[in-house]
Chains A and B, each alone.
Chain A
């Protein structure tokens, strides 16, 4: 008889061939104890965390901890339901107001995660007669969100405004709204969207809106951390900004902001807003406190970029192939999946934790050792990361079974 789980056979086979030898599994890492923003105990080893998305290091910010404590005491451990069915707490409103004033938009809706923010907005904002034009390298939550909706889904080549232009031109005669979807910083390679070119293309046509997912750029780009639109001085040209609290803001949750006068109608239409529990008071309070720190975080951003530059130049000096421009995401391209896994294990044995990213979740089918930096990394920690990368590259050359692969990560 067929077992229900037989359909996962190929998934299982792939996993077994990659990590089924009993070695450390990159996808089941257990942090036995989190020591700080930049260190954890992983299997009895003090490990430098270089794959957290905790860009500003706010997970232990005293102001945010205190705000969370206070809210926990005052309003309890959870809301036990959605805002539509079970009510909005004062914290939710205050957080939405804080987002509006921080990002300079008239309306904000907070969702339970960034993933749900994308599902919500992308599945309801556009209908069957409309078109989504999304960058091909967009995050899975964007793919899932557009698939949940009824609009026609068209992908344009990654960061290619000319390709977007071509596709919009072919749609120009057709009725229906067009929504361009991009990200500020792309999560895997850390490259930025060419926002000025995209806005220029957008302006050539009628009924075109622009949504940017600032998941990785909020807190990172712009003088005040408002992301790529601030850095590019194009905030009024981005109609919808989606973001998450799970990266620079250091907690969990998602949001969308817009100055469209009817934006709040989405609360009545988004199923992932209506049918899931709202964020608990402590999370809401720490998100609000952290947003203030993000806005005031110029010094943190400087430290973050200094760390990014140091890691980027250190690794490229060693001869590694890096995925993108200098950004807090530093992605090392491995020549093949098996080397990626072996390399990841070498790093973890050397006390450095990064993310292993494999196709199909990666652009251009890259196998990536994806590092993300934190403002709280010390120079010594960054140097240590570089040193361990160098050691592992050396040791992989000596792997007897792979004498030819000594280009390691050339």
Chain B
């Protein structure tokens, strides 16, 4: 098991996710942990792919497609992304 990330690192990941997501936020809703990709942000499968690619670039990670079906909200994505960053760069 890897160590818990420092608050600093997880703040960075959260900030990066929100920063990238903001560029895809066409509906203009507030981005909170409970914001849902499909219902609130109107993401379709194509947009999801583009957004994930941008997030991968921003954080220099690979997000396996397998994790996507379980992610409905921004908060869930932040948690999943933190874990990937930990695994790939920790």
Query: Using a CB–CB distance below 8 Å, which chain A residues touch chain B?
Result: 136, 146-147, 152-155, 157, 166-167, 170-171, 359-360, 365
Q: Name B56-74 residues within 8 Å CB distance of A.
A: 60-66
Q: In the complex, which of the residues A147, A154, A360, A365 contacts B62, with contact meaning CB atoms closer than 8 Å?
A: A154
- A170 close to B62 (CB less than 8 A): yes
Could you say which residues of chain B place their CB within 8 Å of the CB of A157? 53
Q: In the complex, which of the residues A153, A359, A360, A365 contacts B65, with contact meaning CB atoms closer than 8 Å?
A: A153
- B66 close to A365 (CB less than 8 A): no
Q: How far is the CB of A137 from chain B (nearest CB, A)?
A: 11
Could you say which residues of chain B place their CB within 8 Å of the CB of A155? 53, 65
Could you say which residues of chain A place their CB within 8 Å of the CB of B64? 152-154
Could you say which residues of chain A place their CB within 8 Å of the CB of B53? 136, 155, 157
Q: How far is the CB of B76 from chain A (nearest CB, A)?
A: 18
Could you say which residues of chain A place their CB within 8 Å of the CB of B49? 136
- A153 close to B45 (CB less than 8 A): no
Q: How far is the CB of A402 from chain B (nearest CB, A)?
A: 25
**Interface residue? B32 (CB, 8 A):** no
**Interface residue? B88 (CB, 8 A):** yes
- A359 close to B66 (CB less than 8 A): no
Q: Known: A136-B53, A360-B45, A365-B46. Contact between A170 and B65, CB under 8 A?
A: no
Could you say which residues of chain A place their CB within 8 Å of the CB of B46? 359-360, 365
Q: In the complex, which of the residues A136, A153, A167, A360 contacts B66, with contact meaning CB atoms closer than 8 Å?
A: A153
20 contacts between A and B (CB under 8 A): A136-B49, A136-B53, A146-B65, A147-B65, A152-B66, A154-B62, A154-B63, A154-B64, A154-B65, A157-B53, A167-B62, A170-B61, A170-B62, A170-B88, A171-B62, A359-B46, A360-B44, A360-B45, A360-B46, A365-B46
Bound-state Cα–Cα, A360 to B45, Å: 8
Q: Counting chain B CB atoms within 10 Å of each CB, which of A136, A155, A171, A365 scores highest?
A: A155
Could you say which residues of chain A place their CB within 8 Å of the CB of B60? 166
Query: Using a CB–CB distance below 8 Å, which chain B residues touch chain A?
Result: 44-46, 49, 53, 60-66, 88
Output the nearest chain B residue to A128 by Cβ-Cβ distance.
B66
Q: How far is the CB of A129 from chain B (nearest CB, A)?
A: 13
Q: How far is the CB of B27 from chain A (nearest CB, A)?
A: 16
Task: Give the 7 A-B CB pairs with smallest separation, nearest first.
Answer: A153-B65, A360-B46, A152-B64, A154-B62, A170-B88, A167-B62, A153-B64
Bound-state Cα–Cα, A166 to B88, Å: 11
Output the nearest chain B residue to A151 by Cβ-Cβ distance.
B66
Output the nearest chain B residue to A155 by Cβ-Cβ distance.
B65
Bound-state Cα–Cα, A147 to B64, Å: 11
Could you say which residues of chain B place their CB within 8 Å of the CB of A146? 65
Could you say which residues of chain A place their CB within 8 Å of the CB of B63? 154
Bound-state Cα–Cα, A359 to B50, Å: 13
Q: How far is the CB of B82 from chain A (nearest CB, A)?
A: 16
Could you say which residues of chain B place their CB within 8 Å of the CB of A170? 61-62, 88
Q: How far is the CB of A295 from chain B (nearest CB, A)?
A: 37
Bound-state Cα–Cα, A147 to B49, Å: 15
Bound-state Cα–Cα, A194 to B21, Å: 32
Output the nearest chain B residue to A167 by Cβ-Cβ distance.
B62
Bound-state Cα–Cα, A160 to B43, Å: 26
Output the nearest chain B residue to A134 by Cβ-Cβ distance.
B65
Q: How far is the CB of B24 from chain A (nearest CB, A)?
A: 14
Q: How far is the CB of B31 from chain A (nearest CB, A)?
A: 24
Bound-state Cα–Cα, A187 to B46, Å: 19
Bound-state Cα–Cα, A166 to B62, Å: 9
